[in-house]
Structure 1
Amino acid sequence: MPIAIVGQFRIPVENLAAARPLMIAVIQASRAEAGCIEYNYAEDLLDPGLIRVSEIWESREHLAAHFKSAHMQRWIAERADLGLSSRQVTGFAAERGEPL
Protein backbone atom coordinates (compact mmCIF):
# COMPACT_ATOMS: atom_id res chain seq x y z
CA MET A 1 0.00 0.00 0.00
CA PRO A 2 1.35 3.45 -0.85
CA ILE A 3 2.43 5.78 1.94
CA ALA A 4 2.14 9.57 1.77
CA ILE A 5 4.48 11.72 3.84
CA VAL A 6 3.60 15.27 4.85
CA GLY A 7 5.68 17.47 7.07
CA GLN A 8 7.90 20.43 7.65
CA PHE A 9 11.18 21.55 9.17
CA ARG A 10 13.02 24.81 9.74
CA ILE A 11 16.38 25.99 8.49
CA PRO A 12 17.73 29.28 9.89
CA VAL A 13 17.24 31.96 7.24
CA GLU A 14 20.96 32.74 7.23
CA ASN A 15 21.65 29.08 6.26
CA LEU A 16 19.12 28.80 3.41
CA ALA A 17 21.61 29.63 0.66
CA ALA A 18 23.92 26.84 1.87
CA ALA A 19 20.97 24.45 2.36
CA ARG A 20 19.43 24.78 -1.11
CA PRO A 21 22.08 22.82 -3.08
CA LEU A 22 22.11 20.11 -0.40
CA MET A 23 18.30 19.84 -0.55
CA ILE A 24 18.43 19.68 -4.35
CA ALA A 25 20.93 16.81 -4.14
CA VAL A 26 18.80 14.78 -1.72
CA ILE A 27 15.65 15.43 -3.75
CA GLN A 28 17.30 14.26 -6.98
CA ALA A 29 18.78 11.15 -5.36
CA SER A 30 15.50 10.29 -3.63
CA ARG A 31 13.45 10.69 -6.80
CA ALA A 32 15.77 8.17 -8.48
CA GLU A 33 15.11 5.53 -5.81
CA ALA A 34 12.99 2.45 -6.43
CA GLY A 35 9.51 3.02 -5.08
CA CYS A 36 9.63 6.82 -5.05
CA ILE A 37 6.52 8.29 -6.65
CA GLU A 38 6.95 11.90 -5.41
CA TYR A 39 9.61 13.64 -3.30
CA ASN A 40 9.42 17.38 -2.75
CA TYR A 41 10.68 20.17 -0.50
CA ALA A 42 9.22 23.66 -0.82
CA GLU A 43 10.07 26.90 0.92
CA ASP A 44 7.04 28.52 2.56
CA LEU A 45 6.57 31.89 0.87
CA LEU A 46 5.02 33.47 3.97
CA ASP A 47 7.36 32.00 6.60
CA PRO A 48 11.06 32.28 5.69
CA GLY A 49 13.07 29.26 6.76
CA LEU A 50 10.07 26.92 6.87
CA ILE A 51 10.47 24.01 4.45
CA ARG A 52 7.41 21.92 3.56
CA VAL A 53 7.87 18.22 2.81
CA SER A 54 5.68 15.99 0.64
CA GLU A 55 6.51 12.48 -0.49
CA ILE A 56 4.71 9.43 -1.85
CA TRP A 57 6.27 5.96 -1.71
CA GLU A 58 4.98 2.73 -3.20
CA SER A 59 5.26 0.97 0.18
CA ARG A 60 6.58 1.20 3.73
CA GLU A 61 9.41 -1.10 2.64
CA HIS A 62 10.51 1.41 0.01
CA LEU A 63 10.35 4.20 2.60
CA ALA A 64 12.43 2.14 5.05
CA ALA A 65 15.07 1.55 2.36
CA HIS A 66 15.07 5.29 1.63
CA PHE A 67 15.98 6.12 5.23
CA LYS A 68 18.92 3.67 5.04
CA SER A 69 20.27 5.08 1.76
CA ALA A 70 23.68 6.74 1.65
CA HIS A 71 22.26 10.05 0.45
CA MET A 72 19.76 10.18 3.32
CA GLN A 73 22.46 9.39 5.86
CA ARG A 74 24.56 12.19 4.35
CA TRP A 75 21.57 14.60 4.42
CA ILE A 76 20.88 13.77 8.09
CA ALA A 77 24.46 14.82 8.94
CA GLU A 78 24.36 17.89 6.68
CA ARG A 79 21.06 19.18 8.01
CA ALA A 80 22.28 18.97 11.60
CA ASP A 81 25.19 21.23 10.61
CA LEU A 82 22.72 23.65 9.01
CA GLY A 83 20.70 24.01 12.22
CA LEU A 84 17.61 22.12 11.06
CA SER A 85 14.94 22.24 13.76
CA SER A 86 11.23 21.76 14.40
CA ARG A 87 11.08 18.66 12.18
CA GLN A 88 7.56 17.24 12.07
CA VAL A 89 6.93 14.52 9.50
CA THR A 90 3.95 12.17 9.40
CA GLY A 91 3.24 9.14 7.21
CA PHE A 92 -0.23 8.16 6.06
CA ALA A 93 -1.40 4.93 4.46
CA ALA A 94 -2.82 5.98 1.11
CA GLU A 95 -4.88 4.59 -1.68
CA ARG A 96 -3.91 5.24 -5.26
CA GLY A 97 -4.56 8.86 -6.10
CA GLU A 98 -6.99 10.20 -8.64
CA PRO A 99 -7.26 13.62 -10.28
CA LEU A 100 -9.64 16.01 -8.53
Structure 2
Amino acid sequence: MADPGLIRVFEVWRDSAALDAHFQTLHMAEWCAHWPNFGVSDRRLFAYENASQRPL
Protein backbone atom coordinates (compact mmCIF):
# COMPACT_ATOMS: atom_id res chain seq x y z
CA MET A 1 0.00 0.00 0.00
CA ALA A 2 1.30 3.45 -0.89
CA ASP A 3 1.64 6.07 1.81
CA PRO A 4 0.97 9.59 0.53
CA GLY A 5 4.04 11.77 1.04
CA LEU A 6 6.31 8.84 1.92
CA ILE A 7 9.67 8.84 0.16
CA ARG A 8 12.00 5.87 0.48
CA VAL A 9 15.67 6.38 -0.25
CA PHE A 10 18.09 3.49 -0.63
CA GLU A 11 21.82 4.06 -0.79
CA VAL A 12 24.78 1.71 -1.04
CA TRP A 13 27.92 2.49 0.93
CA ARG A 14 31.36 0.88 0.68
CA ASP A 15 31.56 0.43 4.45
CA SER A 16 30.49 1.95 7.77
CA ALA A 17 33.36 4.44 7.72
CA ALA A 18 32.17 5.84 4.38
CA LEU A 19 28.65 6.23 5.72
CA ASP A 20 29.93 7.90 8.90
CA ALA A 21 32.00 10.32 6.81
CA HIS A 22 28.93 11.13 4.70
CA PHE A 23 26.99 12.18 7.79
CA GLN A 24 29.81 14.58 8.73
CA THR A 25 29.74 16.49 5.42
CA LEU A 26 28.66 20.10 5.10
CA HIS A 27 25.84 19.29 2.69
CA MET A 28 24.31 16.86 5.20
CA ALA A 29 24.45 19.48 7.96
CA GLU A 30 22.74 21.93 5.62
CA TRP A 31 20.09 19.38 4.66
CA CYS A 32 19.34 18.56 8.30
CA ALA A 33 18.97 22.27 9.06
CA HIS A 34 16.56 22.84 6.18
CA TRP A 35 14.52 19.65 5.80
CA PRO A 36 11.60 20.96 7.90
CA ASN A 37 11.25 23.82 5.40
CA PHE A 38 10.43 21.22 2.74
CA GLY A 39 7.65 19.65 4.77
CA VAL A 40 9.70 16.73 6.07
CA SER A 41 8.24 15.92 9.46
CA ASP A 42 9.96 12.64 10.27
CA ARG A 43 12.80 10.46 9.12
CA ARG A 44 13.82 6.99 10.14
CA LEU A 45 17.20 5.64 9.23
CA PHE A 46 18.04 1.96 9.06
CA ALA A 47 21.26 0.22 8.05
CA TYR A 48 21.19 -3.23 6.50
CA GLU A 49 24.25 -5.33 5.77
CA ASN A 50 24.56 -7.68 2.83
CA ALA A 51 27.31 -10.21 2.34
CA SER A 52 27.32 -9.76 -1.44
CA GLN A 53 25.33 -8.62 -4.45
CA ARG A 54 24.96 -9.68 -8.07
CA PRO A 55 23.00 -8.39 -11.03
CA LEU A 56 19.81 -10.23 -11.88
Regarding TM over 0.5, the answer is yes
Question: Offset at 1:64?
Answer: 0.3
Question: What's the CA shift for 1:82?
Answer: 2.4
Post-superposition Cα deviations, 1:14-56, rounded to whole Å, max 9, x if no partner, equal xxxxxxxxxxxxxxxxxxxxxxxxxxxxxxxx43311111011
Do structure 1's residue 74 and structure 2's residue 30 form an aligned pair? yes
Aligned length: 55
Are 1:85 and 2:41 matched, yes or no?
yes
Root-mean-square deviation (Å): 1.5
| Residues 18-57 of structure 1 aligned to structure 2 (within 5 Å) | 46-57=2-13
Separation in 2, partners of 1:72, 1:96? 28
Give the strand-richer structure, 1 or 2: 1
* Partner-residue secondary structure (3-state), 2:53: coil
Unmatched 5+ stretches in structure 1: 1-45
SS at match of 2:46: strand
Cα deviation, residue 94, structure 1: 1.7
Structure 2 gaps, min length 5: none
Q: Percent identity?
A: 40
The residue that corresponds to 1:12 in the other structure is none
Larger radius of gyration, structure 1 or 2? 2
